[in-house]
Amino acid sequence: MATYVLVPGMWFGGWCFAELTEALRDQGHRVFPLTLTGLSERAHLLNGGVNLDTHVQDVTGVLAAEDIRDAVLVGHSYGGMVITGVADRMPERAGSLVYLDAVVPEDGDSCWNLVTDAQRRWYLDVVDSGYAARPLPFFDPRATPHPIASLLQPLRLTGGLSQVRRRVYVYAAGWDGESPFTEVYHRLREDPTWTAHALDGGHNLMRDAPQALLKILLDAAGPDRP
């Protein structure tokens, strides 16, 4: 039995993993689909102080409270920032990292500097309070504004990532227009320390390619390759 911790991207809550959560639990695994502070059912907690550190603490708090070890940390889109920070801070609890069409930050990176100008224009459409970026109109109607400070704050890493045994990247090859993750995918598929996949789906791979994604997640929890 493996333990999966699922971290959504911008504007989404843990609901975006509903189908994957059910499928993984049907196979006997523990699954924690999280909603980050300030979003979805936790939108009432949104304020100007909700940042990347807050979201990393959301996940590290669950790992500690549930005594989770050797977790498969899965991050979609912006969630790549979060799982990277979590694995750096709690490497003893992170077994595998799976990035679903996500940013892959290094020390000092922010989500802002890792995306294209088109994505940055999305971020600048903020709600009246100035605390959050409005969801795009073509997203799921359940999407809620995303805390802007979490997109701007640089991630600080301390070296804990070197202890993670497996890293997987899943690229969405079916974007409608330019993907901000194409360069990342091409770079990581040539890196022997990564396993890279390309799936025929849009950015919301959980909706567009659930069966293929399920297989990748199951493999990510398996024994290391020789």
Give the model confidence (pLDDT) of 136-162 as tens digits.
888 899 999 999 999 999 999 999 998
Domains in the chain: ranges and CATH = 3-220 (3.40.50.1820)
* Residue of 167, 185, 165 lying closest to 175 (CA atoms): 185
Q: Is residue 226 scored above 50 in pLDDT?
A: no
Q: Tell me 225's DSSP state.
A: P
CB 101 within 8 A of CB 198: no
Average pLDDT over residues 113-140: 92
CB 185 within 8 A of CB 198: yes
Active site residues: 77
Q: Residue 138: its pLDDT value, please?
A: 81
CB 71 within 8 A of CB 94: yes
What's the predicted TM-score (pTM) here? Answer: 0.96
Contacts of 204 (CB under 8 A, 6+ apart): 16, 140
Give the model confidence (pLDDT) of 10-48 as tens digits.
999 999 999 999 999 999 999 999 999 999 999 999 999
Contacts of 129 (CB under 8 A, 6+ apart): 48
Average pLDDT over residues 163-179: 92
Count of CB atoms within 10 A of residue 45's CB?
14
Place of tokens 């609901």: 15
* Residue of 133, 143, 125 lying closest to 203 (CA atoms): 143
